Amino acid sequence: MALMGGLCRDRKWLVLPALAMSTSIALMDSTILPVALPTLRQAFDLSSVAVQWIMNSYLLVLACFVFVGGRLADFWGKRFVFCLGMGLFGVASIIGGCAYHQFFLIFSRSLQGLGSALMLPASMAILPEVVPQEQQGRAIGSIVSISSLFLCLGPLIGGGFAEYLSWRWIFFINIPIVIGGIWIIIKTLSCSEKKQEEFHWLGFFMFIGMLNTLILALMQAREWGWGSIGVVLLFTLSGFFACMLVWLLPRARVPFIDYHLFKNASFMGANLIVVCVQFVLMVGIYWVIYFQSTLHYTPFQAGALLLISTLPVVFGAPLSGYLTDRFGARTPILVGFSIICLSFLLWMSPSADKLFLLIPTLFLFGAGSALVMTPVGKTMLNAVPRTRTGAGMGIYSTLRHTAAPLGVAVLGSLMNNISFFSFAKYGEQEEVLRGLDFMYYGELIAGGVSLLPHLDGLSLYQIAFLKNLFSRAADEALFYVNLTCLIVSFLGLAFSLVYLKKQK
C-alpha cells in the first residue's frame, strides 16, 4: 500500500511498471517458446539442429552483448538504450510472428536477444535514478514478483497458444507490452546524463569470437561431422580467440573483464556456481521436447508439466533470501544443489516417465534451482568493493548468460548425437529394418512427421518398429543428458564447499 501511495505522489514511480515489463518479457521468452518447439518443427519441417538454433540464437546474442549493453547505457543515455532495446524486441517479435521460413525465425530470435541485452542492463541502471535508496528494496521486490509470475506462466501460455490458437501468438503477445513500456518511459523519465568512458573493444570482439565459434562447432558437429574441417577449424579458432583474450586482458588499460576480482575466493565461487546452475537450467528445453515427441503429451499438457518446475520460484526465492540472511549463502546453496542432484537421480530411474514420479521430480528441480539463485547473487555483490560493483555485476551477468547457450549447445549435441547413433545401432541389429536410411527416418520421427506419406515400401509393422526404436534411443539420450546435468550439479556443490565460507 505504501508503494502504491508512492506511485500516486511521485510520477517517477510509474517507471517501475516499464522496468517490470522489460524483465517480464525477457524471462517469459525463455519459458514460453520451448513448449512450442515441436509445433514449430512440424510447421517449418525443421531439423534437430535448426530447432536448437531457434532457442540458442537468442541466448547466444544475449550472452555476447549483455555486458556491452550496460556500457552503452552510460555512453548513449539509459532512457535511449532502454527504449532502443524494447523497440528491437518488439520489431523482432513482429518478424517472428509473421515468419514463413526458419531463417526469419532464427533472425527474429537473434534480434530479440540483442534487444534484451540492451534493455535489461539499462533497466537496472535506471532504477537507482528514480527510486530513493531506502525504497529500492521494495521496488526490486515488486519487479521480481511480477517477472517471476510471467516466468512461471510462460510454459502454460506457450502450450495454450500452440495447441488452441497459433504458435505466432507467442511472438505477438510481446508487442503490446513493448509499446506500453516505451510509452511509460518516454512520458515519465527525462534524458539521463551521458558518460565518456574507455571500453576495451578488442577484448570484447575476442570474447564474441571465442563464444560464437565454440557454440557453432558444438551445434553443427552432428551435421558436419566431429572430424570435419569446418568443426575442427571452429574449435581451433575458439581456442585462438580465448588465448588472445587472456593475453590482451593484462595489457589493456581498462580490460574488458576485470580479472583482478577473481582473486577473491567468494567472487570466484559465485561465478562458478552461477555457471553451473544456469547450464543445468537449460535441460528444461529438452524435457519439454521429450514430453511431446516421446511421451506424446499435447503442447498444453507439456506446458503444464514444465510449469511445475517454475512454480517453486514464487516461494523459493523469498525462502532462499531468508535462509541466506539467517545462515549465510553457503547453506541454501548446498541444500539447493543437493535437491537438484536428487531430482536428476529420480529422472534417471526406470519409472521417471510415470506421472507419479515425474511431478515430484520436476517440482524438486525447480525448488533446488530457486534456492541457489538468490544467495549466489548476494555472494557476488558482497565479494566485490562498492566501487567495483558495476564491473562485478558485468562479469557475473556475462558468465551467467554465457552458460545458457553453452548448456543448450552441449546438451543438444548430446541429445541429438546419442539418439540418432543409438537409433541407427538398434535398427541395424534388426533383420526387418536392414538397409534403411536411419538418419532420414530418425529426422521424420523426431519432427513428429507421420511416416505414412514417406512409406517407400515400408510395412505398418516396420513403421511401428521404427517408432519404438526411436523412443528407446530418445530415452537413452535423455539419460545421458540428465547424467551430464547431474555431474555439473555435483560440481556446483563442490564449488560451494571449496569457495564459500561458513557464516560465523
User: Block means of pLDDT (10 residues each) for the chain, length 504 residues?
Assistant: 42 72 80 83 80 84 81 78 90 91 90 88 74 62 69 82 87 90 82 63 84 84 78 90 86 75 85 90 86 83 85 75 76 90 90 81 89 80 70 77 85 85 78 70 66 64 77 87 94 88 58
Domain holding 91: CATH number?
1.20.1250.20
Residue 159 forms part of a structural domain: yes
Predicted pLDDT of residue 344: 93
CB 163 within 8 A of CB 300: yes
**What pLDDT shows up at residue 326?**
77
Is residue 231 located within the same domain as residue 292? no
Per-residue confidence (pLDDT) for residue 4, from 0 to 100: 38
Same domain as 174, residue 57: yes
| Secondary element (H or E) of residue 197 | none
Answer yes or no: do 114 and 159 share one domain: yes
Q: Is residue 4 part of a domain?
A: yes
Whether residue 246 sits in one domain with residue 125: no
361 and 224 share a domain?
no
pLDDT, residue 385, reads 75
Give yes or no for a contact between 182 and 87, defined as CB atoms under 8 angstroms apart: yes
Boundary residue ending a domain (190, 218, 241): 190
Would you state the pLDDT for residue 448? 61
Is 363 contained in some domain? Answer: yes
User: 169 and 269 share a domain?
Assistant: no
**Same domain, residue pair 235 and 359:** no
Q: Could you tell me if 107 and 209 lie in one domain?
A: no
Boundary (domain end) residue, out of 190, 214, 243? 190
- Of 213, 240, 255, the residue that ends a domain is 255
Tell me: do 362 and 499 sit in the same domain.
yes
Same domain flag for 92 and 207: no
Closest by CA position to 26, among listed 97, 101, 121: 121
The answer to whether residue 205 is domain-embedded is: yes
Contact (Cβ atoms closer than 8 angstroms) between residue 499 and residue 375: no
Is 362 among the domain residues? Answer: yes
- What is the model's pLDDT at position 464? 76
For residue 325, count other CB atoms closer than 10 A to its CB. 12
Verify that 402 and 337 share a domain, yes or no.
Answer: yes
What is the spatial distance between Cα 450 and Cα 233, in angstroms, rounded to a whole number? 37
Residue 136 lies in a domain: yes
Cβ count within 10 A of residue 262: 13
Total count of domains within the chain: 3
Assess contact for 282 and 408: CB atoms under 8 A.
yes
Length of the chain: 504
Residue type, 351: S
Q: Which domain holds residue 246?
A: 200-255
Amino acid 254 reads V
Q: Please give the pLDDT value at position 388.
A: 67
CB 252 within 8 A of CB 203: yes
Could you give the angle at which helices 265-281 and 283-293 cross, rounded to 10 degrees? 10
Whether residue 246 sits in one domain with residue 168: no
Judge whether 195 lies within some domain. no
Domain for residue 354, yes or no? yes
